[in-house]
Amino acid sequence: MFFLKYLHKTIRLPPSSFGPHMRSHVERRLYDEVEGKIDGRYGYIISVLQIVEIGAGVLQPMTGLAEFNVVYRALVMKVFKNMVVDGVVTVVNPLGFWVEVGPMTMFVASALIPSYFKYDPSANPPAFVSDFGDESGQASRIEKGIAIRARIIGIRTEATDIFCVGTIKEDYLGPQAGV
């Protein structure tokens, strides 16, 4: 799920950034351009941990910009199909519920929820409520703010987001008590 990767990025600086603090301009531009962004090959770049090398700048004759090849080490999050993840429920509706797992969003459809969970339209907030209780005798609920464990069964990566489809229709998946 979390990996340390050495990555490369070309940073372009305008002539107004040239001078004694050019290195700090390159570093700041790198942080702004890559942290919190998605790279289709490596996943979500959480943080730049170390700048390994900043290459010599090359002036581009047509634009006047300087290009710097930067090698950096980053903490990335990549999810895979069949991976079990923990998240927090953000939205519940009759079709299923949405879960935030770090920076990504996962949808669990009602068909992928065990049959003993029934949608309760009169609940406030809306919730899926189980027919039987947990160890303490209380009915198990899936509602906004509840910690949930789910298995990823499908992934779609876009330029700015990672979307997943998940299931809780297996053993040890579903609402997590005391998390």
CA distance readout (Å), 146 to 26, 139, 162: 42, 14, 21
Please check the confidence at residue 57 and state whether its pLDDT lies above 80.
Answer: yes
pLDDT in tens, 115-161: 889 998 888 889 999 877 655 555 688 999 999 999 999 998 877 77
> HSE on the CB side for 54, CA within 13 Å?
18
Q: Range(s) for CATH 2.40.50.140 in the chain?
A: 84-175
By the 8 A CB rule, do 92 and 143 touch? yes
pLDDT in tens, 60-78: 888 889 999 999 999 999 9
Residue 167's Cα: distance from chain center in Å? 17
Please check the confidence at residue 50 and state whether its pLDDT lies above 90.
Answer: yes
> One-letter amino acid identity for 92?
V
Residue 108 burial (10 A CB sphere; 0-12, 13-18, 19+) = buried
CA distance readout (Å), 174 to 31, 104, 121: 37, 18, 20
pLDDT at 139: 63
Q: In 10 A of CB 103, how many CB atoms?
A: 15
Task: Calculate mean pLDDT across residues 80-103.
Answer: 93
Q: Which CATH number fits domain 2-77: 3.30.530.20, 3.30.1490.120, 3.30.450.40, 3.30.360.10?
A: 3.30.1490.120
Assigned token pair, 91? 């939205």
pLDDT at 93: 93
> Reduced to 3 states, what is the DSSP secondary structure of residue 143?
strand
Q: Which CATH number fits domain 84-175: 2.40.30.70, 2.40.50.140, 2.130.10.10, 3.40.50.300?
A: 2.40.50.140
Q: Range(s) for CATH 3.30.1490.120 in the chain?
A: 2-77
pLDDT at 72: 96
> Reduced to 3 states, what is the DSSP secondary structure of residue 35?
coil
CA distance readout (Å), 57 to 2, 12, 54, 115: 32, 9, 8, 61
pLDDT at 125: 87
pLDDT at 164: 93
